[in-house]
Structure 1
């Protein structure tokens, strides 16, 4: 070993010992002839002092060191002569160097890994090997490691088996596009990288492995966002001979253990369960952030009878008028700020954003003249308005009011600082629709996926009104992010084909696309259910980040590029010839 201790290990009880450390130079300083070096590894930082009276050559070598040089140093642990550094765990001691060896010199880095002012993300991803040395990233990857270990231990305690499912599988496109892998042996055929282990884990249940889990790698060729990656990791689970509540209770225990062990936060079990239609009505979103209020309020009855044409016409055409009350925010937002919010909700389809500021004299707004005193009083009562409040309204079709006000709610919650970085609020959203109607293609789509078991009492609506059919599906939401999704699975092949029929998938096409699952369902499939938790997203939330790339060692950009390695890249023509692939890109 090139070191006897790490740079975060030494304390006052090591004083007098001769030790050897190895790591990266952070910075050097000269104080009255003495040279000081701060040495870093992933465990911490230790101060090294070089005295020219002891070894002039070593002192000069120390003074020549630059940031990110890799060195080995031996010396005696002593108490600091100067004031201790309370910011460091090793801040009461230093190493009085006896020997110094330069293991490797570094070029001048394009940025310092320890800087508090982060360089642009493109630069950090290009030089990811430097960014990985930062305390910020190291802490995130340590949390990730601890979370993964804790998860395996938790499921092991509950008699789960970790079983690997294939990475090379069959393309069964549902939702996002597959990443395809050409086969050299089977010319003209392709494997697909798994979007999830969904079908395989259902087959495991049919195979008798009643409690399965996996830290699973998944791949989706889709447009990216700050909380999405083309390749990601999920905590995947499946159970046989269970009902929905069994899965929810199991995951409740996992989340409680994670928050307690990793953040020392106690939560009450069971986590709240909310109906999908209730959260859509109250928050406009199926992933509500419960750290703050700002609930949506329907004022359609008032809007229908007022003289404001926008509101009145919206109600006459079957739309809705809904709003929210930003408490004590009237003085926080100028007219220019509100114009900015109007443009913001426009990104979600809203044609405008009406507002009232609540003053001592009443409701103040450019549209106030269109409302009678009685209407204004009704609005005040409906919105529970007080002096200083700022009331916002969107008039449009239901889906637009939900999307626009949900986005506005989240933005106001952040801007008005209605929650803290250490606040965590979780809930389950249950009873999602089984199907959603695709207006563009005039057909039904699966809301989650086509393998969700319908709620038993809703089966009667399959032919008469498919929109009424609820699925035994559920999402876990944490701080406004979808953290997990799952469902009770269809285990009866006849029910499965009924769902396929509604989706426009014929029996022949179903056999072609999902035949190996349908075949398995015919051979004694038990009732089963499962869920998948986004591990990357969970680490992001635990670390207080809002960008998933900050908790992945080697992430891709929003264009699915790896700036470090240069992937994706062109390949040797011989490889393409072996695969019988011709690249034909229009100029």
Structure 2
């Protein structure tokens, strides 16, 4: 079996040549003594013709069905005039087959192997190996492969050393829930799958490897969504003796190279804006803004502080905010019923309602318009609205208002096609993050990035006894693309005294800190260099560059939204013998 080239690459340069091709039968059309077969492989489709001149090959073609695996030899000819297919690379030629062999037969597939197939998502995941045959999926995984190749080449040519870190590691409290692996040799003890290689890469800096990277697998037991999986892939980068600006410049260099190599886009890295966390939250209501949407959040707190509308006035009086977005053309697009649906949705953010106004040539209309009869123009101007716009308000706590208006901004832009696709790749850096954030899930303060993030120099005093550490900001930075976080990084703590203060602020006693992170704290006593780094999510990057809305579409064998894998049925029960070897019992065993 000696293939000449891929089926999808045969073109006019092969005219009148004999070629041998292999692949899958996409489609078969039988016209008696003439059979056409579309042969598919990873590069595309080519048309095969079988006729009575080559009777043996024609007989084999009569047995072919969709998804049969075949090998053919034939001569490349131009298609008849008017029969060309300009939608595919091979559309001007066809192969007149002289020899053919069926290498494997196939059952009827549960769905067609074609793009935009109308099949249940769970069914496609159950038969993922068939789903992956579709051209769209093949394209997605090739984009992912190009990203990884670009990362490997760029880092190695910039003096970074590729070092693997352990998958079976110690469980350390870093934020998300760990996936735990029981030890057979030490009953009752567990390894943890890494949420990131954070501690190991800091130790590598202490070991003198001043430029480290790896394409790392990471694991987090958390609720899933479209851009999140239990296991994911990141490019992990750590450096010594580099500032935050230098690290961001390095990442910009790679992003520029990668965008050219993967999607042939010339990115002007000088145009990538840098926003502080506070500025991003004020203008967009999120720390990962989509800058392709032109309209921003406006603060109307001062304008409506004395408003007759009690919801607004009381929100400001109670220390909250009143903010709004003006949706261009929204007045005609959204009915009251549509707005009620949005109001119901935003309840999940803690919003207790959705106030709105439509801007008309006479002023404003809507259920709260009567409260602004005299100062309607002030509200219109403060919201930056025009005639025909829909003004959507948020009133109350800063975090609730921010989350609400962020969602409404994204959703209305999608509904009205207001995302500016003339700027297809809107990157941004978000810097100067709070060092801590309050977690509703854990009901306590946690580190906004991780417990090893260096505070800003001017904020170090907030970690001292008697100060409020929650006022501190971090030397951290996130890279954002089109409203998604691509990477998160920071300058790390390399001094023992600061690290101990940081852990104390997070609620660790000295004993608990050394129990959890003792190996790192001890290493710091042997001379740690100033260091910093970043982890870039390659799944999300591949999703965006492939034009997909879910990272499952760029992962070969992903989990579904319930964190199960329909094809292999993972997670699954194991034999009782395996559990006994590990000294484990299930809740059902305990009940028995």
1:189: Cα distance to partner? 1.2
Separation (CA, whole Å) in 2 of partners of 1:392 and 1:219: 39
Instruction: Label 1:117 to 1:439 Cα distance change in 2 as closer, same or farther (>3 A).
Output: closer
3-state SS of the aligned residue for 2:330? coil
TM-score w.r.t. the length of structure 1 is 0.97
Distance 2:263 2:194 in 1: 32
Q: CA deviation at 1:164?
A: 0.4
Q: 1:90 aligns to what?
A: 90
- Stretch deviating more after TM superposition (251-260 or 162-171): 251-260
SS at match of 2:214: strand
* Contact 1:320 1:395 survives alignment (8 Å): yes
Q: Which residue of 2 aligns with 1:157?
A: 157
Q: Which residue of 2 aligns with 1:63?
A: 62
**Structure 1 Cα separation of the partners of residues 339 and 85 of structure 2:** 47
Map 1:445-464 onto structure 2 (within 5 A): 445-462=446-463, 463-464=466-467
Which of 492, 496, 516 is the aligned partner of 1:493? 496
2:175–2:446 CA contact under 8 A, matched in 1: no
Q: Please state if 1:581 is matched with 2:580.
A: no
Q: Distance in 2 between matches of 1:252 and 1:189?
A: 43
In the TM superposition, what is the alpha-carbon distance from 1:260 to its structure 2 partner? 1.9
Task: Say whether the 8 Å CA contact 1:486–1:529 is kept in structure 2.
Answer: yes
Question: Any stretches of 5+ residues in structure 1 without a counterpart?
Answer: none
Alpha-carbon spacing, 1:24–1:290, altered in 2? closer, same or farther (3 Å):
same
Counterpart residue number, 1:192: 192
Q: Does 1:543 align with 2:542?
A: no
Could you say which residue in structure 1 is the equivalent of 2:483?
480
In the TM superposition, what whole-angstrom CA distance separates every residue of 1:32-81 from its partner, at most 9, and x where no partner exists?
Answer: 741100000101111100102430x5424313322111111111111112
* 2-structure distance, mates of 1:111, 1:525: 57
- TM-score (normalizing by structure 2): 0.96
Shift, 1:551, TM fit:
0.1
Provide the C-alpha distance between the structure 2 equivalents of 1:18 and 1:141, rounded to a whole number of angstroms: 31
Asked whether the equivalents of residues 2 and 22 of structure 1 are also in contact (C-alpha less than 8 Å), the reply is no
Give the CA deviation at 1:305: 1.2
CA distance, structure 2, for counterparts of residue 142 and residue 443 of structure 1: 42
Contact 1:28 1:63 in 2 (8 A): no
* Distance of 1:526 and 1:60 partners within structure 2: 73
Shift of 1:420: 5.3
Q: How big is the shift at 1:30? A: 2.8
Report the RMSD for the aligned CA atoms in angstroms. Answer: 1.6
Superposed structure 1 runs of 4+ greater than 4 Å apart: 438-443
The answer to which of 454-463 and 550-559 deviates more is 454-463
1:354 maps to 355
* Deviation for aligned residue 1:515: 0.6
**1:124-180 deviations in Å (ceiling 9; x for gaps):** 100001001011110011111111111111111210000000111101032111111
Q: Contact (CA 8 Å) 1:443, 1:504: kept in 2 or not?
A: no
Q: State the partner residue of 1:531.
A: 534
Select between 28-37 and 204-213 the one with higher mean Cα deviation. 28-37
- Compute the displacement of 1:19 (Å): 1.5
> 2:90 and 2:382 mapped to 1: Cα distance?
59
Contact 2:115 2:135 in 1 (8 A): no
**Preserved CA contact (<8 Å) 1:355 1:393:** yes
> Relative to structure 1, is the Cα distance of residues 378 and 231 closer, same or farther in structure 2, using a 3 angstrom cutoff?
same
User: Which residue in 1 is equivalent to 2:507?
Assistant: 504
Counting only pairs closer than 5 Å after superposition, residues 14-413 of structure 1 correspond to structure 2 as: 14-31=14-31, 33-55=33-55, 58-82=57-81, 83-270=83-270, 271-373=272-374, 375-413=375-413
Q: Deviations over 1:563-582 (max 9, x none)?
A: 11111111122211211112
CA shift in 2, pair 1:8/1:157, >3 Å: same
Q: Deviation of residue 441 (structure 1)?
A: 7.0
Worse-superposed segment, 566-575 or 203-212: 566-575
Question: Could you report, residue by residue, the CA deviation over 1:524-569 in whole angstroms, capped at 9, with x for unpaired residues?
Answer: 0000000000000000010111100000001011111111111111
Change (3 A) 1:506 1:370: same
Q: Say if 2:564 is the partner of 1:565.
A: no
Check conservation: 1:306, 1:372, Cα contact below 8 A. Answer: no
Cα pair 2:303 2:382 within 8 Å, conserved: no
Shift of 1:440: 8.3
Asked if 2 retains the 8 angstrom alpha-carbon contact of 1:345 and 1:405, the reply is no
Going from structure 1 to structure 2, the CA distance change for 1:538 and 1:181 (only over 3 Å counts) comes to same
Check conservation: 2:111, 2:117, Cα contact below 8 A.
Answer: no
Shift of 1:433: 0.6
SS of 2:100's partner is: strand
Which range moves more in the overlay, 161-170 or 379-388? 379-388
